[in-house]
Structure 1
Amino acid sequence: MSVLIENPAACEIRSVIRFLNARKVKPIEIYRQICEVYGQNAMSDSMVRRWVRQFNEGRSEVHDEERSGRPSLVTEELVHAIDDKIRENRRFTISALAMEFPQISRSLIHEIVTEKLKFRKLCRRWVPKILTEQHKTKRMGSALQFLTRYDEGGEEFLTQIVTGDETWVSYDTPESKRQSMEWRHTSSPAKVKPKQILTPRKMMCTVFWDWKGILLIDFLPRGQTIKADAYCETLRKLRRAIQNKRRGLLSKGVVFLHDNARPHTANVTKNLLQGFGWDVFDHPPYSPDLAPSDFHLFLHLKSFLGGQHFNNDEELKENVSNWLKTQAANFYEEGIQKLVPRYDICLQNFGSYVEK
């Protein structure tokens, strides 16, 4: 079993990226190899892609540009000492560390912890379900299937993916705790807000999309939920939309990705998709972290709806539809491309959930 190289210099990782990129290794494979050698926190997938772009554009320097200023108080011995203290007690606060190292400021300690040592303070996460070994095995199987298809087809495979899901949209959506944050002085009186109860006035919105953008938006009458017959009718609309908006995709072959909700896996739905001749990708159960609509599209949609109020069905549908249709072109492409590192991490984690 290989031993991870801890706390590598940034220039070392950049040199690895430059070397592998010169060997025509794909960015996702570069990221995977870096994780294997240096650990998953060494550099993010997006940062790897950014350095690949810079090297492709002609950059050859792997070191940071020189900066003027006073000599740094940060020494290798100090970094190792702070690292040892944190490993002794993972719940150390910055204030507690400052008392252990009174010769340096709290801001410098925070810089060492977050930038030099790459630590992040994380709490336990809510997960959809405690996965059994059977669930993890199925997730690993799906991840291996996806990555194999991607390795064979590359970016062309991603352009064939059509995905979608349903979500509730409400007349009144409370703003999130993060949205209510504001800059205030420490002496300012604390603001409070009551806990809001979700309004019963809501509609189910079904959205289908691909790497180019929205294909179909469909709303059910207020209060109704999706059933197999209604879902099949929506799929027929989707097929017509693909035919009109993505010329050649039906003949090239649609890779259809939706979750395993009951209306999606009903026999009538399976028969319809089989008649379409679509390649239905096997989505593992309890896996919203592998569903682009959940981890990307709806996450941003709910953020947009936070704190808003709508008076009627038409106003709600118009605002939701306008937001979906006016996102930048690369917004949807980014959502599809995120599937590659997510499935890769899922496989590396032996089927466990992928963090946000």
Structure 2
Amino acid sequence: MNLTRENFRSMIYYDFRCGLTQQQNYDRLRLAFLNEAPSRATIYSWFNEFKRGHSNLNDDPHEGRSLTATTEDIISAVRRVIQEDKRVTYQQIRASLGIGMNQVQKILHEQLGVRKLCTRRIPHTLTDDQKHLRMDWCRQMLDKFNRRDP
């Protein structure tokens, strides 16, 4: 049976209310649940929370953006920002779009597939047009070299 953190917190709280010590609670949970039981540090931490009057057994909400910040609208906005200015920084993208630094990094690397090279963002994979432009430029340079042009 897989018990959640809230289930274990309920058991810890029950033992706390019954007057058991932290070590007694740890021993009971280890005996009953073996490796599934919370660590000693977790049990001691929750006992201290209960002593302070904390009685909510659920996780407190954390600050920060949810994973929904990576929407198609945000991805296309990041794409537009880096197309307008290839030297834009993470901080500038974050400030202009109001998303977290981790989201900026995930969008750039995982969604758009770009990386920073010599202070410019370049795509990992080139489009067909970009490949043809590079081939034309290389041919021009080879022609210059073969003609011995400086």
Pair member with larger Rg: 2
Shorter-normalised TM range: 0.3 to 0.5
What TM-score, normalized to structure 1?
0.18
Give the structure with the higher percent helix: 2
What TM-score, normalized to structure 2?
0.40
